[in-house]
Amino acid sequence: MTLNQEATLAETAPVADQVETIIDVKDVDVFYGDKQAIHTVSVPIEANTVTSFIGPSGCGKSTLLRCLNRMNDVIPICKVTGDIRLAGQDIYAPEVDVVALRRRVGMVFQKPNPFPKSIFDNVAYGPKIHGLVKSKSDQEEIVESSLKRAGLWNEVKDRLSEPGTGLSGGQQQRLCIARAIAVQPNVILMDEPCSALDPIATATVETLIDELREKYTIIIVTHSMQQAARVSQRTAFFHLGELVEYGDTESIFNAPREERTQNYITGRIG
Ligand SMILES: Nc1ncnc2c1ncn2[C@@H]1O[C@H](COP(=O)(O)OP(=O)(O)O)[C@@H](O)[C@H]1O
Ligand SMILES: [Mg+2]
């Protein structure tokens, strides 16, 4: 560390003092068979904050993200140990209903993946199977409010019965975000949500992420450091399955404490 960085750090307020931790990850190890992909990672995820997971390809970003709503359960060789709590509750406890967990911790993937159904049904399906709507008008209301919140309503309100797959890539991704929002989650996990989008659609989704923070907690995996700097307040940098450094995004990019972080952000690893 240079003297200059030390001086900057001294002026930087510590992170995560009085804020609410919505997901608390403690000493998590993840194995695929006998290969360890995550090494004793602990990270507090703050409520109503955008946290980005950055680091070189294969460093375990997606693996850790998938632990947070137990998506790794579907990979038979994957074993997760340690403690992950959502609002204080151990999400790996035997009594946890995984379907209900995934309602509270939704996910948006790299490639937009609308169901082969109408735009309306893409959004209406989740609330229906989770019993969140009683009447047709409830359903219409939730579809409209979710599409509005996802910034897509004006573009699709006259074509709700058309297939979701007929939308542009950026619109499809916002439809997937509307679908995630429709079941009233607390947290939305996004795994490189813009990597299949053009720069204009990316900018729209980034603006949306910033707006969503008011109501939801967002964790975004990105290999674009510029994107992490633009959208997130907190950044976690991973390397070879370890969490090297976590802190407020500005400090991570302007005054990293660790040499490995410095090397990554200056392009020396990755
Ligand atoms: N389904 C899987 N089966 C076996 N190994 C996997 C699987 N998914 C990921 N891995 C391994 O785990 C490590 C972390 O991968 P991943 O979480 O996808 O990294 P990232 O998202 O940072 O690129 C890599 O070594 C990868 O090969
Ligand atoms: Mg990944």
pLDDT of residue 47: 97
d(CA 189, CA 170): 17
List residues near ligand 1 (CB under 6 A): 32, 37, 55, 57-63, 75
pLDDT of residue 125: 96
- The number of residues making up the chain comes to 270
pLDDT of residue 3: 42
User: Closest Cα to atom 3, ligand 1: which residue?
Assistant: 32
Tens of pLDDT, residues 183-240: 999 999 999 999 999 999 999 999 999 999 999 999 999 989 999 999 999 999 999 9
d(CA 244, CA 257): 9
- List the domains of the chain with CATH numbers: 6-111+188-265 (3.40.50.300)
Residue 250 exposed, middle or buried by CB count within 10 Å (0-12, 13-18, 19+): middle
Edge-to-edge strands, sheet with 187-191: 105-108, 187-191, 217-221, 50-54, 234-239, 242-248
User: Closest Cα to atom 27, ligand 1: which residue?
Assistant: 58
Smallest CA-to-CA distance from 120 within 164, 154, 160 is with 160
Confidence of residue 100 (pLDDT cuts 50, 70, 90): very high
SS3 25: strand
Average pLDDT over all residues of the chain:
93
pLDDT of residue 17: 53
Tens of pLDDT, residues 238-267: 999 999 999 999 999 999 999 999 999 998
Smallest CA-to-CA distance from 229 within 249, 210, 243, 209 is with 249
Tell me the CA–centroid distance for residue 260 and ligand 2, in Å. Answer: 19
